Structure 1
Amino acid sequence: MLLAPVSASVGSGDVLVVRGRNGAGKSTLLRAMAGVRTPTSGTIRIGDEIVTERDRRFRRRVAAMIGLPPIAPDLTVADHVLLVASTWLDDPLAATELARGVLGELGLTPLAARFPHELSSGQTQLFALGLVLARPFDVLIIDEPEQRLDPEHIDMVIDALRVRRDNGATLVLATHDPRLAEALADHTLWLGEAA
C-alpha cells in the first residue's frame, strides 16, 4: 500500500477529518482503518484491538463507507436499508424503525420504492450513506460523503453525522469540502501538503 508514514489518534465521540489533495492517500488510509487493506508496516488499532475485518467484534464496532456498496438490482432503496438494519438488529420492529428513520433523515423516503439504478448520482450517494447508517457501530469511517451532493444535501449529511457523534460514535472521514470539515472536525489530519 502506498501511503507516507502517518500517526493520529481520536477519542470516543470525536471526529477526525482527513484532508489532502487527490492521491495523497486519504482513501488508502481509510481502507486500512476499516480493515479492507493491510498496512505493510505499522499498526492500526480501534480501541485496544488491532484492526482486522475478519474479526466479528471488529465488524460490529466499525462501519465504513468507502466507495459505493454492492447492490441487488431487484431490491428497492427501502428493501436495501431494511435488509442492512435487519442483519444487525434481532428485533424486526426495531430494524423497521431504524430503516424508516434513516430514510427520513436523509430525505430518501420519497425514493423508497425506487430501485438503485433509478437514482441520480447524488441520490445514490445518500442511499450509500443510508446503508451504513442503518446499522449499529462505535466507529464510522466515511470517504468523501459530500461527493455529488448539492449544498442542501451536504447540510443534511452534516446533521446526520453530528447526531452519530453526539450519540458517542467516533467518526473518521476524508473530505475535500471545507464547510463539512469545519462543521465536524475535532481533529484534522493533513496528508501531503496542507492547502
Structure 2
Amino acid sequence: MLSVQGVSVGYGDAPAVLREISVMVRPGRLLALTGSSGAGKTTLLNAMAGLLRPQQGTVTVDGQPLRDRDHAVEQRIVLIPQDNGLAPILTAAENLQVALVADGVTPPEALRQTAATLDQLGLSDQADQLVEELSGGQQQRTAVARGLALRGGVLLADEVTSELDAGNRQRVLDLLRDEARRGTAVVFATHDPEVAAACEAELHLVEGRAEIVRD
C-alpha cells in the first residue's frame, strides 16, 4: 500500500507547492486526483513516484519510506507521465518491448505481451510506426499500453485521456478499472469531471491543500 502522510512538496528554495497532504492509495481502487491547472496534481504524482523528495512528511510503500525513483521502480510503482515519456525514434511496439525486457521479461514473452496490450488499446495497426509519426492521442494510448504491460502494484497516470475521443477515453478507463480489479492501486490525475466520477474515490487539490471528496 502507498501512503502519503503530512507531505509538503516544493521545488528548490521556493515555497511548497503542496502542504500537508495525506492520502492512502489502496489496492484494488481507482483514486481520482483532481484540481485546476497548476493545482499540483503532477507534483503529487511525482512525489508518489519517487521523483520528488518531500520537504516534510513521508511517502511509504508497505511501510517502507520511499527513497527515490529507483526504489519506487523496485517497489513496482509505475508512472505514466503527462508528456508520455516515450522514445520518439522507436516504434510503438519497441517502446513496450524495451521496457518489458528491462523489467526482466524474456524477449519472446515481451513480443507476445506487447502485441496483446497494443491490441487492447486499439493500436495493432500502429505497432510498427515510429512514435514521432503517431498522433497525440495514439501516443497517449501507447504510453498507457506500456504502463499496463509493466503490471505494477501501483499505477500512477497523469492526464492520460486528455487527447482522447470519448470512445478511447472509455477504453482506457475500462482497462484501468480492470487493473484495479487485479489488485493494483491506481491514481488517475485528471481535470475531466466525467473521468473523476468514474473512479471510486477522489482527492481534490486546491491552493496547495487536499480535500477528500469521496473515499
Q: Give the aligned partner of residue 122 of structure 2.
A: 107
Aligned residue-pair number: 192
Alpha-carbon distance in structure 1 between the residues aligned to 2:30 and 2:121: 20
Q: Deviations over 1:130-183 (max 9, x none)?
A: 222221310001111111111111011011101111111001111111222222
Which structure has more RCO (C-alpha within 8 Å, separation ≥ 6)?
1
Q: After TM superposition, list the pairs within 5 Å mapping 1:1-195 onto structure 2.
A: 1=10, 2-56=17-71, 58-60=72-74, 61-67=76-82, 68-73=84-89, 75-183=90-198, 185-192=199-206
Greater percentage in strand: 2
The AA in structure 2 aligned to 1:190 is H
TM-score relative to the length of structure 2: 0.83
Hey, what's the Cα distance between the residues in 1 that align with 2:203 and 2:91? 37
SS at match of 1:7: strand
Ranges of 4+ aligned residues in structure 1 off by more than 4 Å:
none
How far is the alpha carbon of 1:54 from its aligned partner?
Answer: 4.8
Residues 1:132 and 1:142: Cα distance change in structure 2 (over 3 Å): same
- Whether the 8 Å CA contact 1:102–1:134 is kept in 2: the answer is yes
Quick one: distance in 2 between partners of 1:78 and 1:27? 26
Structure 1 residues without counterparts, runs of 5 or longer: none
Taking the aligned partners of 1:125 and 1:41, their CA distance within structure 2 comes to: 33
TM-score by length of 1: 0.91
Q: Any unmatched runs of 5+ in structure 2?
A: 1-9, 11-16
Give me the whole-angstrom Cα distance separating, in 2, the residues matched to 1:115 and 1:92.
20
Distance 1:54 1:4, change over 3 A: closer
One-letter amino acid matched to 2:202 = T
Could you tell me how far apart the structure 2 residues matched to 1:135 and 1:143 are?
16
Provide the alpha-carbon RMSD of the alignment: 1.8
Q: Say whether the 8 Å CA contact 1:85–1:96 is kept in structure 2.
A: no
- The answer on whether the counterparts of 1:144 and 1:175 sit within 8 Å (CA) in structure 2 is yes
